[in-house]
Chain A
Amino acid sequence: MNISRIKAILLQELYITKRSLEVILDLFFFSIMTIVVFGFVSLFLTGNITGASAHYLILGLILWEIIRINQYSISVGALWNVWSRNLSNMFIAPISVREYLAAHMISGVVKTFTIFIIISLVSSLFFKFNIFNLGPLNLFFFFVNLIIFSWTIGIALLGVIFRFGTRIQALAWGSIFLFQPLTASFFPVTVLPNFLQKIAFALPPTYVFEAARAALVDPTFNWKFMLIALVLNAFYFLVSLWFFNYMFRRSKETGQFARLEG
């Protein structure tokens, strides 16, 4: 791993982010507006529903944004270079795929953490929901597990983009929402039909969302759920890296990668 090359990609990400209204809208504006809407819904529910369940929505949303922003950052980060016909320029420099992915993973975490802090503060200040009450250990493991899951999806989608080009680019920002109901982000997993519950428990974020909802009442750290989530994440992450490498190689074999230019 060469630090200078990772720094180069991070710097490019920073320049693009600060000069792109789309990124600012998609990440900052969209996140803040959603938290405002969900915050008001939570306030309404607090007045009508007793107990912690009134906060399920806003809790689910803050944690869901970790997945969405990190995955978006990785998948769409590459598209900026595809749209600018600059991707092959990047890869004819001596950067390795590992360095490229590492840079996008770091960039995703930085963006995600920044927005997580902003929306957590908004929810605490305006909607009387302080996610930090869940405790630092809980929050750390929730964050780590959701970040690894979103890296996994982001890298897999990047492989699909490299292989099939811009014709499937909408997947970069749309496909993640498939996991929103499947991981029971906003409601207890028992709400799902049985067969969907089985799928849900095969996905690491489900354990995070379940543990987080439980922590609203009792913030005791749920080792079992976090361990299962970590093991599942490790497995899916390795599969995702293998899948990306396969798609990247196929893209170079079919000539698609060289044509990935807008």
Chain B
Amino acid sequence: MSKVILEIKNLVKAFGSLRVLDHVSFEIVAGKVVGLLGPNGAGKTTTINILLGVTNANSGKIKYFGKDFYQNREYCLQRLNYASSFNTLQGRITVWENLLVFALLYGLKNPKKKIEELASYFEITELLPKRFWDLSSGQKTRVNLIKSLLNDPELILMDEPTASLDPDIADKTLSLIENLRADKNISILYTSHNMDEVTRICDQVIFLDRGKIVAQDSPLGLTKRITNSQLLLTFDGDKVALEKYLEGEKQVFKFTHPYTVLINTQEKAIPKIIFGVSNLGLWITSIEIIKPTLEDVFLQIARGKDEHF
């Protein structure tokens, strides 16, 4: 059985009369990346803040490494860390000075060696003497990641670490996170609005909506819950016959071009449709099956069509 790194039970948080977390429970096991998704105001950042101890919950239990967080704050924080594009390091002082301060906060025995090792790993050695506020967004993100690794954490909470990065730097950052996970077997709780990112790096996804967990599964498992797919057919032949056939089969469709039709259908009905179209004597020149993505799941939840979850 996998070791449980983080266990949350019945977390409740309200700001005045507004309940932002409503009995949230989940766990993260060693070496897994769990995505925490949801529309704005869903409670993602509040969850992270409570898990870091910078916001107090109204009720609920948090256990890190089997120990109660509130009673063992120092022990727990020593073994986890945090990276976010939203909070930065001290701008006036250099990258080296910032990292040295954090290395001492985490009680490192040989801070110089550790900082140099990580700076080399993230290819920022030349940035160490620069003031933090002189760095680009991508460079700041990498320095933040270094800060989050100084104490060799077993768990990192990442709050939109690639927000505000251009696609190239975001991709490089994701690759670094993937390498980290592979090299050091770190568990990660990851929030992002970028569904491709989440699909790429997360083993499990938790959807929060208005403070409640509304779905929890692997990215593939979640997309499979949407049973509809889209079938894009390009054909040569009698368009009217095709229209009649699809109407007879009660399919929802539209022609995107005179000889290209987009059919919204159940995934299991796709073979039957292709077979039926072939039997009409049409020549199918191209078939494309567009499967639902995590973004479709997200949109369904965000738009309140989550009954079947």
Residue ranges of A at the interface with B (Cβ–Cβ < 8 Å): 2, 4-5, 7-9, 11-12, 15-16, 19-20, 80-81, 83-86, 88-96, 249, 252-255, 257-258, 261
Q: A96's closest neighbor in chain B, by CB? A: B74
| Cβ-defined partner of B82 (8 Å) among A7, A9, A11, A92 | A92
Question: How far is the CB of B97 from the nearest CB of chain A, in Å?
Answer: 5
- Which residues of chain B from 82 to 107 have any CB-CB distance to chain A below 8 Å in the complex? 82, 86-94, 97, 100-107
Contacts of A93 in B (CB 8 A): 77, 102, 105-106
A-B pair number, CB within 8 angstroms: 105
Distance between Cα atoms of A5 and B53 in the complex (Å): 18
- The answer to whether B107 and A84 touch across the interface, beta carbons within 8 angstroms, is no
- The answer to whether B105 and A5 touch across the interface, beta carbons within 8 angstroms, is yes
Distance between Cα atoms of A90 and B88 in the complex (Å): 11
Question: How far is the CB of A166 from the nearest CB of chain B, in Å?
Answer: 15
Q: A86's closest neighbor in chain B, by CB? A: B90
- The answer to whether A252 and B56 touch across the interface, beta carbons within 8 angstroms, is yes
- The answer to whether A2 and B107 touch across the interface, beta carbons within 8 angstroms, is yes
Asked whether any CB of chain A lies closer than 8 Å to the CB of B46, the reply is yes
- The answer to whether B55 and A84 touch across the interface, beta carbons within 8 angstroms, is no
Question: How far is the CB of A107 from the nearest CB of chain B, in Å?
Answer: 13
Distance between Cα atoms of A80 and B93 in the complex (Å): 11
| Cβ-defined partner of B105 (8 Å) among A16, A95, A257, A261 | A95
Asked whether any CB of chain A lies closer than 8 Å to the CB of B260, the reply is no
- The answer to whether B55 and A255 touch across the interface, beta carbons within 8 angstroms, is yes
A12-B101, A15-B97, A88-B87 in contact; A254/B107 too (CB < 8 A)?
no
Q: B93's closest neighbor in chain A, by CB? A: A15
Contacts of A84 in B (CB 8 A): 88-92, 132
Question: How far is the CB of A8 from the nearest CB of chain B, in Å?
Answer: 3
- The answer to whether A16 and B77 touch across the interface, beta carbons within 8 angstroms, is no
- The answer to whether A8 and B46 touch across the interface, beta carbons within 8 angstroms, is no
Asked whether any CB of chain A lies closer than 8 Å to the CB of B54, the reply is yes
- Sample 22 A-B pairs with CB under 8 A, ordered by A number: A4-B107, A8-B104, A8-B105, A9-B105, A12-B101, A15-B92, A19-B92, A19-B93, A83-B91, A84-B90, A84-B91, A85-B86, A88-B52, A89-B82, A89-B87, A93-B77, A93-B102, A252-B53, A252-B56, A255-B15, A255-B55, A257-B55
Distance between Cα atoms of A9 and B98 in the complex (Å): 11
Asked whether any CB of chain A lies closer than 8 Å to the CB of B73, the reply is yes
Contacts of A261 in B (CB 8 A): 86-87
Distance between Cα atoms of A84 and B135 in the complex (Å): 14
Mark interface residues in B50-85 (1 if CB within 8 Å of A CB, else 0): 001111100000000000000001110110011000
Asked whether any CB of chain A lies closer than 8 Å to the CB of B147, the reply is yes
- The answer to whether B90 and A92 touch across the interface, beta carbons within 8 angstroms, is no
Most buried by B among A86, A93, A252, A254: A93
- The answer to whether B90 and A81 touch across the interface, beta carbons within 8 angstroms, is yes
A8-B101, A257-B54 in contact; A94/B90 too (CB < 8 A)?
no
The 8 A-B pairs of least Cβ separation, nearest first, read A8-B104, A93-B105, A94-B77, A258-B49, A15-B93, A94-B74, A252-B56, A8-B105
Distance between Cα atoms of A217 and B101 in the complex (Å): 48
Mark interface residues in B176-202 (1 if CB within 8 Å of A CB, else 0): 000000000000000000000000000
| Cβ-defined partner of B54 (8 Å) among A5, A8, A19, A91 | A91
Question: How far is the CB of B266 from the nearest CB of chain A, in Å?
Answer: 44
Distance between Cα atoms of A20 and B82 in the complex (Å): 27
Most buried by B among A80, A84, A91: A84
Q: B107's closest neighbor in chain A, by CB? A: A4
Q: A8's closest neighbor in chain B, by CB? A: B104
Contacts of B90 in A (CB 8 A): 12, 15-16, 80-81, 84, 86
Contacts of B15 in A (CB 8 A): 254-255
Contacts of A2 in B (CB 8 A): 107
A5-B105, A11-B100 in contact; A92/B77 too (CB < 8 A)?
yes
Contacts of B88 in A (CB 8 A): 84-86
Distance between Cα atoms of A20 and B97 in the complex (Å): 14
Most buried by A among B54, B106, B132: B54
Contacts of B53 in A (CB 8 A): 91-92, 252
Distance between Cα atoms of A249 and B53 in the complex (Å): 11
- The answer to whether A85 and B105 touch across the interface, beta carbons within 8 angstroms, is no
| Cβ-defined partner of B92 (8 Å) among A8, A80, A253, A254 | A80
Distance between Cα atoms of A156 and B54 in the complex (Å): 20
A5-B107, A12-B93, A20-B92 in contact; A258/B86 too (CB < 8 A)?
no
Given contacts A19-B92, A84-B89, A92-B53, 5 further A-B contacts (CB under 8 A): A12-B90, A15-B94, A88-B54, A91-B54, A253-B55
Question: How far is the CB of B63 from the nearest CB of chain A, in Å?
Answer: 17
Contacts of B107 in A (CB 8 A): 2, 4-5, 94
Distance between Cα atoms of A12 and B96 in the complex (Å): 11
